[in-house]
């Protein structure tokens, strides 16, 4: 049963990673879009007349689509000075409590987002840019990202709960605990080109 839950979690994590990649490339596109707008305005005399709105949507959707992946790689910030000093047996249920709270918060956000989409649909709302983008489009994309975040919380909760019930608190700690020394070092070293600095 735990294995099935783990499989499910891995599947959702893969989906979350895909969403986060899209979110990241969306920022690259955003930078190029604004640069093009600056160049177009100064050199060619053309401007999108919707830069403000479109880049705002790119930010909102970028945040929403990367939330689930950030949770999967345990990068969301927790204040864990107390919890990390406790033995695993006590730590595990606390992890579960904090994930439960996060899941509740995520569900509320996602609900609020879909309500907003609903309201925009009721109003048939458009933005005031030259493109007159229907607000349900960016807000819907945003709400999808937030829903993926809820899904990620849910599968993690399922697996953690099973692990706790089956008496495997260490497994739960690996799922939710702070990222290990190896993860972090590897990542930092990879980013700076794999040269540990001189011992100055």
Partner 1 sequence: TVPPGPRIAITAVTQPLPTQPQYTLVDQPLLRDGLRARSNGRIEVTLASHGERNLGGAEIIRLVRAGQAEIGAGTLTTLSGDVPILDGIDLSGLAPDIRLARRIADAMTPVANRDLERFGVRILAMYPFPAQVLFCRAPFTSLADLRGRRIRTFGNSLVDFYTALGAQPVSIGFPEVYSALERGVVDCAITGSGSGAAARWPEVSTHISDLPVSWAVAAYVVNLAWYNRLEPAVRALVDDTFREMSDRLWQLGADATRDGIDCNIGNREGCRIHNLAARPMTEVKATDADRAETRRIFEQVVLPGFVRRCGARCGEIYNQVIAPLSGVRFGG
Partner 2 sequence: MIALVLLLALLGVVAFAAASGAAALPVGEILMLIGVFVVVFGSGVYVGAVLGLLAFLIGFLFSDRPWWNFAGQTLWGPSSNYVLVAVPLFLLMGEILLRAGLSERLYRALNVWLNRLPGGVLHTNIVSCAVFSAISGSSVATAATMGSVALPYFQNTAYSQRWVLGSLAAGGALGNLIPPGITFIIYGLMTETSVGALYIAALLPSLLVTGLFLLLIFGHGLRHPLPKAPPLPLSVKLRALTDLTPTVLLILLVLGSIYAGWATPTEAAALGVTGAMAFAAFERRLNLRMLHASAEATARNTALLGLIIFGAYLLNYILTSINVPQATARLIAELPLPPWAIMLCIIALYFALGTFMEGFSMIITTVPVVFPIVVALGYDPIWFGVVVTMMVEIAQISPPDGTVMYVLQGMRPRAGPISDVFIGVMPFLLAYLAAVLLLLVFPEIALWLPRAMS
Residues that bind partner 1 (CB under 8 A): 41, 45-53, 119, 122-130, 132, 135
* Interaction partner, residue 49 (partner 1, partner 2, none; CB < 5-8 Å by kind): partner 1
For 40, which DSSP code? I
Q: Give dist(CA 157, CA 12) in Å, integer.
A: 13
Dist CA 188 CA 182 (whole Å): 10
Tell me which residues in 16-45 interact with partner 2 (CB under 8 A). Answer: 20-21, 23-25, 27-28, 30-35, 37-38, 42
Interface mask (CB under 8 A) for partner 2, residues 81-120, using x and -?
Answer: xxxxx--------xx-xx--xx-xx--xx--xxxxxx-x-
- Look at residue 134 and give its three-state secondary structure: strand
Q: Is 56 in the site for partner 2 (CB under 8 A)?
A: yes
Q: Identify what 108 binds: partner 2, partner 1, none; CB under 5 to 8 Å per kind.
A: partner 2
CB of 16 vs partner 2, minimal distance in Å: 10
Q: In the range 124-183, which residues lie near partner 2 by CB under 8 A?
A: 138-139, 142, 178-181
DSSP state of 126: B
Give the span between the Cα atoms of 116 and 98, in whole angstroms: 27
Q: Contact at 8 Å (CB) between 92 and 164?
A: yes
Does position 193 interact with partner 2 (CB under 8 A)? The reply is yes
Query: Which one, 2 or 178, has the nearer CB to partner 2?
Result: 178
DSSP conformation class of 74 = T
Answer yes or no: are the C-beta atoms of 173 and 23 closer than 8 Å.
no
The listed partner (partner 2, partner 1, none) that binds 60, CB under 5 to 8 Å by sort, is partner 2
Please tell me the distance from the alpha carbon of residue 24 to that of residue 19, in angstroms, as a whole number: 9
């Amino acid at each position: 049963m735990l294995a099935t839950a783990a499989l499910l979690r891995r599947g959702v994590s893969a989906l979350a990673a895909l969403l986060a990649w899209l979110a990241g490339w969306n920022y690259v596109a955003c930078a190029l879009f604004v640069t093009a707008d600056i160049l177009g305005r100064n050199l060619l005399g053309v401007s999108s007349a919707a830069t403000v709105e479109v880049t705002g949507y790119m930010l909102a959707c970028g945040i929403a689509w990367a939330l689930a992946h950030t949770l999967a790689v345990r990068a969301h910030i927790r204040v864990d000075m107390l919890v990390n000093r406790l033995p695993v047996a006590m730590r595990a249920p606390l992890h579960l409590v904090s994930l439960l709270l996060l899941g509740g918060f995520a569900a509320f956000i996602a609900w609020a987002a879909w309500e907003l989409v609903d309201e925009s649909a009721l109003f048939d709302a458009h933005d005031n840019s030259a493109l007159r983008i229907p607000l349900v489009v960016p807000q819907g994309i945003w709400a999808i990202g937030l829903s993926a975040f809820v899904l990620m919380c849910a599968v993690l909760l399922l697996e953690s709960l099973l692990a706790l019930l089956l008496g495997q608190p260490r497994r739960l700690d690996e799922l939710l605990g702070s990222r290990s020394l190896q993860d972090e070092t590897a990542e930092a070293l990879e980013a700076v080109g794999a040269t540990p600095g001189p011992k100055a």
